[in-house]
Structure 1
Amino acid sequence: MSPSDLPPEVEELRLRTRRFIREVVIDAEPAPGERLGQAARDRLQAAAKDAGVFAPHVPREYGGQGVPLAHWSPVLQEAGYSPIGPSALNCMAPDEGNMHMLHLIATEEQKKRYLAPLAAGEIRSCFGMTEPHPGAGSDPAALRTEAVRTDGGWIIDGHKRFTSGAVGAAFCVVMARTPAVDGAPEGATMFLVDMANPGIRVGEPIHTVDRAIDGGHPHLHIENCFVPDDAVLGEAGRGFRYAQVRLGPARLTHCMRWLGLARRSLDIALDRAGRRELFGAPLDSLGLAQSLIADSVIDIETSDAIIARTAALLHTDPKAGSALSSVAKVHCSEAIFRVIDRAVQICGGDGVSDGLPLAQYFNEVRPFRIYDGPNETHRWAIARRAASARSAAVRAGEPYRGDALPGRSGAK
C-alpha cells in the first residue's frame, strides 16, 4: 500500500515509527544470536509510548494507536525493519495475535484481566496449540489435549510443544478437546490459563535458530489443571472457529514484520553494492548484481501487494481473507527468504559473518516457512479450495472446456 493511500493519521504514525526504529531501536539491537533482555525491552517500550508509536494494532481504549487491520501493514513493516522493533512496539507474536483475538472474543471481565495488561506491555502471553506427534501440528484435528467438566469448571490434561513465548508468560491460551456438554457441541475449546496455575508447567526448551520471539518455544505440560468456568474463551466446542479469527491475521502480521526485515536486508545490500568495485566498476552497475537487486525488488513489491489485498479482505470478509492469508503466507515467507539470501550473496563473505546482521536474519525468517502451518500444508489447502471453487462454478453453469482436453471424456 502506497503511503499516499493511507489516512493522514496512519501515515503520520508510519513516519513516527520509521524515525523511532532508526533513531532509537536499531542502536539497542543485541548481538547476532542473542535475545533482547527484559530490562532493555521495558526501556524500549517506555520510549515507544513516549514517542506515540506503542501498540499500533491495539484499540485506543486499551492504550494503543487504534489502527484498523486494513492499515496495519505499512506500520508493522516499519517496526519490522529491526528484529526487535515489534517487541519494542508490543506488536510481536504471539502477543499481537492474542490481543486481536481477545478484543474480538473475550468477555469484558476477561479483557480487563488479560487484554488490558497485555496491551500495556505489563505481561506477555503464549498460545498452546502444537503438540508432540501424533498430536496437533499441521493437522489441528489431531488435537489430543483434553478438558473434562467438573464442579465449577474444567480439568485439562495434555502436552504442548513449540509454545512460543511460554517462558515468562503470564497466561496461555490453551486449545483442548472437549465433549458435548451443557448444550455445547463436541469439539475444541479455548481456555485462558494463568501460568501460575499449579497444573501447568513450562518444560524442556526447544532450541531454535530464531531469537526474536520473547520466551522461546518450549514444551508445556498440563496435568490435572483446574480452571473455572470463566476461563473459557468464547463458547465451548467452538475453538477451531475462533482459531481462524486469530490465525488469519496472525499469519499476515508475520508477513508484514518480516517484509520490513527484507527491506532492511536489501538496503544493506544496496549500500554495499554502491560502495564496492569489482572488475573496475561499481558493483551496483554490473549485471551480476543488478539481477539480484531487481529480483529482490520484485519479491518485495509482490509481497507488499498481496499483504495489502489480504489485509483489506480480512477487514471486510474475514472468511475469504483467512483463505487468502494462506497464499500470502506461502508467497511472503519464501520471497522474504530469497531477498535475504540475495543480500548475503551481494555482500559476499561479510554476508555470512557476524560483521553484518544478514546471517541472523536468515535464522529469523527461515522458521516462518514452518511456523503458522508449514507451506506444504497451506499449498494443499490452497489447491483444494481452488478445485472446489472451480467445481462449484461449473455446477453453476460457467463455461467449461475441460472435456475437450486430451484424455478427458468426450475428447475428439
Structure 2
Amino acid sequence: MEYHDSEKAKEVASRVEAFMDEEVIPRERQALQNRDPVTIDEMRDFWEKAKERDLFAPQVPEEYGGQGLDFSDMLPSFEQVGRSMLGAMSIRAHAPQEGNMHTLEAVGSEEQKEEWLRPLVQGDISSGFAMTEPQQGAGSDPKMLKTTAKKDGDEWVINGHKWWTSDGYDADFLLVMARTDLDKHPYEGTSIILVPTDTDGVECVRDIPHLGHFDDLIDIQRGHAEFKFHNVRVPVENTVGAEGAGFQIAQMRLGGGRLTHCMRYSGMAMRSLNIAKAYIQHREAFGSSVSEKQALRHRIADAETNLHAARTMVRHAARELDRGEARVEVAMAKTFTANVTTEAVDLALQCCGGNGIGKDLPIAYFYESIRPFRIVDGTDEVHRRTIARDAFEDVNDEDLENIIQFDPELDKTDE
C-alpha cells in the first residue's frame, strides 16, 4: 500500500527494513531454533551497527546522538522494527526508553539532559516510568494517584507504592508521578520527579511475572517491576518539567507512545500474516493447498483490510498530533489497532496450527506480546470513554427536533 509518507520517512524505513532482514531477524531465528538468548553485549553490537547505518535512536535529536526524525517521519521505521521481538531494542527505540528520552528532551532541564538523557540515549544507563499503582491507586483512572512527594526545604520526600514500572528492575533512574499538592485537583497538583534507583528508601520489590516475558529469547532483564518508596529524598531540581504539570507531560508522552506502539504492533501483525500465508500455501490438507480454502482466504482478506485501515488511522493521528491536540484521534487509533493486530496475530497462529503454538516460529511470542496492548497505555474501555465523550458533545437540539417530527410520542413538552 502507498501511504504517501515523506521521502525521508520512506528512505529511512527502507534502511531499517534492510537492517531487520540482514542482521536482526536472522539472529532472532537462531535464538528461536537453538534456544540461544540474545545477550546485552550482542544488543550493544546491534546498536553499533545501527549507528554505522545512521539508524540509531531515530526519535532523538542529533545533538543527543539520535537521527532527529520528525514524529510522522519515524513511524514507518517503527513499523519495520515491529517485525521482530528484537527490533525496537536493536535501534534503541523501545519502550519505555523511547518515551522517557522524549520526555526529558521535551521538558527536562539542561542539567537533566546532560546527566541523564545523553547516557540514556547511548544505552549507558536505563530508565523506568513509574505511574501505575496497586489497588486502590492509579490505574485506568490516573486521578486515583496515591504516591506523594512533600517538600522539605530543597528536597522532595516521596512515599508510595508503584507497580508495572516498565523496565524498572534494571533501571538506573525512574520518572515517578506523585501528588505534590494535595489541595489541588490531581490534574493540577501532580508532578513527575526523576529518582535514581540507588537513592536511600527506594525498594525494588520484584519483577512481576507476566504474559510476554521472554527470557528464552532475550537474556536481558526486562519487564515490569514493583517499587516501594520509603521517605525517599531527592532534590527539588529533579522535578521534570514544571511543578504540577505531571498529567500534561504524561499525556504528551503517552500520546506519541501509543502511536509508536501501534506501528510496532502493526509490523508484528504484518510479519505474522506473511508467515501464515507462506505456511498455508505449502501446507496441503483434504486434497489441496490450505490457502485454497475459501474460509481462510476470506479471513486473511479481512485481516489485511483491517490492518490497512489501522495503519492509515495511525498516520492520520500522527499528522494531527504534529499539529497540536489529537486526543480523540489517538484514542481511536490505539483502540482500533490494538484489536485488529491482536486478531491478525491470532489468525496467523490458527493458520499455522501446531507450528503456530510451537516456539520455532515467532508467532507464539507475538501472540503473548500483543495481547497486553489492549490494556497497557490505556485500556480499550478508557479510550472508548474518551471517544464516546467527544461523540456526545456533537449532539444538538436540531437532531432531536428531526426525530420528534417523525415520532410525536417523543414530544411530551405540552404535557
| TM-score normalized by the length of structure 1 | 0.92
Q: Is the 8 A contact 1:405 1:411 kept in 2?
A: no
Structure 2 Cα separation of the partners of residues 6 and 340 of structure 1: 25
Structure 1 residue 298: deviation in Å? 1.0
Secondary structure, in 3 states, of the residue corresponding to 2:195?
Answer: strand
- Change in 2 beyond 3 A, CA 1:95/1:408: farther
Structure-1 residue corresponding to 2:11: 12
Within the candidate set 90, 94, 109, 2:92 is matched to 90
Structure 2 Cα separation of the partners of residues 107 and 71 of structure 1: 26
Structure 1 Cα separation of the partners of residues 289 and 228 of structure 2: 57
Structure 2 Cα separation of the partners of residues 186 and 75 of structure 1: 36
Structure-2 residue corresponding to 1:2: 2
- Change in 2 beyond 3 A, CA 1:41/1:283: same
Give CA deviations for 1:119-139 in whole Å, capped at 9, x if unaligned: 222222110000010000010
Does 2:302 correspond to 1:295? yes
Structure 1 residue 366: deviation in Å? 0.4
Structure 2 Cα separation of the partners of residues 405 and 206 of structure 1: 58
Q: After the TM superposition, which residues 159-170 of structure 1 pair with which residues of structure 2 at under 5 Å, given as runs?
A: 159-170=161-172
Structure-2 residue corresponding to 1:360: 365
Bigger drift between 96-105 and 128-137 goes to 96-105
- Percent identity of the aligned residues? 35
Structure 1 residue 408: deviation in Å? 3.8
| TM-score normalized by the length of structure 2 | 0.91
- Change in 2 beyond 3 A, CA 1:216/1:42: same
- Change in 2 beyond 3 A, CA 1:273/1:404: farther
Structure 1 residue 399: deviation in Å? 9.0
Structure 1 Cα separation of the partners of residues 257 and 196 of structure 2: 22
- The amino acid of 2:127's aligned partner reads S
Give CA deviations for 1:261-308 in whole Å, capped at 9, x if unaligned: 101101101111221223332222221221121011112101101110
Give CA deviations for 1:371-399 in whole Å, capped at 9, x if unaligned: 112111211221112112x14xx37x789
Secondary structure, in 3 states, of the residue corresponding to 1:31?
Answer: helix
Secondary structure, in 3 states, of the residue corresponding to 2:203?
Answer: strand
Q: Is the 8 A contact 1:144 1:177 kept in 2?
A: yes
Structure 2 Cα separation of the partners of residues 107 and 304 of structure 1: 35
- Change in 2 beyond 3 A, CA 1:281/1:234: same
Structure 2 Cα separation of the partners of residues 371 and 24 of structure 1: 29
Q: After the TM superposition, which residues 279-294 of structure 1 pair with which residues of structure 2 at under 5 Å, given as runs?
A: 279-294=286-301
Within the candidate set 215, 219, 226, 2:226 is matched to 219
Does 2:50 correspond to 1:48? yes
Q: Is the 8 A contact 1:403 1:411 kept in 2?
A: no
Structure 1 residue 404: deviation in Å? 4.4
Q: Is the 8 A contact 2:269 2:341 kept in 1?
A: yes
Structure 2 Cα separation of the partners of residues 70 and 196 of structure 1: 37
Q: After the TM superposition, which residues 12-411 of structure 1 pair with which residues of structure 2 at under 5 Å, given as runs?
A: 12-29=11-28, 30-31=31-32, 36-179=38-181, 187-211=189-213, 215-317=222-324, 319=325, 321-388=326-393, 390-391=394-395, 394=396, 401-404=402-405, 408-409=410-411
Q: Is the 8 A contact 2:169 2:206 kept in 1?
A: no
Aligned pairs, how many? 403
Structure 1 residue 152: deviation in Å? 1.2
Q: Is the 8 A contact 1:126 1:163 kept in 2?
A: yes
Structure 1 residue 247: deviation in Å? 0.8
- Change in 2 beyond 3 A, CA 1:277/1:404: farther
Structure 1 Cα separation of the partners of residues 162 and 36 of structure 2: 25
Structure 2 Cα separation of the partners of residues 323 and 371 of structure 1: 17
Q: Is the 8 A contact 1:188 1:236 kept in 2?
A: yes
Structure 2 Cα separation of the partners of residues 238 and 148 of structure 1: 16
Secondary structure, in 3 states, of the residue corresponding to 1:219?
Answer: strand
Q: Is the 8 A contact 2:8 2:73 kept in 1?
A: no
Structure 1 residue 10: deviation in Å? 2.5
Q: Is the 8 A contact 2:57 2:92 kept in 1?
A: yes
- Change in 2 beyond 3 A, CA 1:109/1:403: farther
Bigger drift between 212-221 and 112-121 goes to 212-221
